[in-house]
Amino acid sequence: MTTERTPSGSSKYVLFDVDGTLIDAVANQRRVWETWAERYGLDPAAVYQVALRTRPIETFAAVAPERDPRECLTALHELEDEDVRSGVYAAFDGASELLSGLPSGCWALVTSNYEHRVRGRFARTGLPVPGVLVDAATVAEGKPSPVPYLLAAERLGAKPEDCLVIEDAPSGVESGLRAGMTVWGVNTAAPVDGVHRHFASLREAVPDILAFTTGTR
């Protein structure tokens, strides 16, 4: 995890999820899981549907209970790392403008993925990486636990009530709400339960997110 703390004059902070929020990785995730399923002689479409709703270890238990979960996870990680090297990625419309427009030291990334993959995807899409990045290897409890977002706030020197969480997934929304933060949802056709505001796309949310950091929203 990146833990550099960069003080700023801002009293408002924005904490971003990554996949599905800033980076469009749906096709990549589907391809990785379907390739993994084929390796184990499983129905790719059925496995992917389970993977959408559960964490990897839970997916393995549901679709391949007779397999060693450590072996399954190793195989999945190998496929994900290869996808970062060779897959095609795109940032959501507005992501570059948004991240470049935020004051230094007032935003962070909070992801259920791993830092080296996030950095690889950001390098491929030209997005800037902040000084604080909380990844799956950093915390014992991932989303929907509030721990990841609370740790990011701590690293920024921010109070939870001064933080805005940008999410697209139910588990991330729950994590932000349990952390006592404002949560806005993006890139979903309908609002995720619990969000304080909903935007159909990240692009629509850009002016309001930027305004949040200056207190002019």
Q: Which amino acids are annotated catalytic? A: 17, 19
User: Residue 94: what are its φ and ψ, rounded to 5°?
Assistant: 100, -15
DSSP string, 66-112: TS-HHHHHHHHHHHHHHHHHHS--EEPTTHHHHHHHSPTTSEEEE-S
Supply the angle between the helices 69-86 and 26-39 in degrees, to the nearest 10.
140
Token pair listed for 24: 């469009």
Give me the amino acid identity at 146: P
Q: Does residue 6 contact residue 158 with C-beta atoms inside 8 Å?
A: no
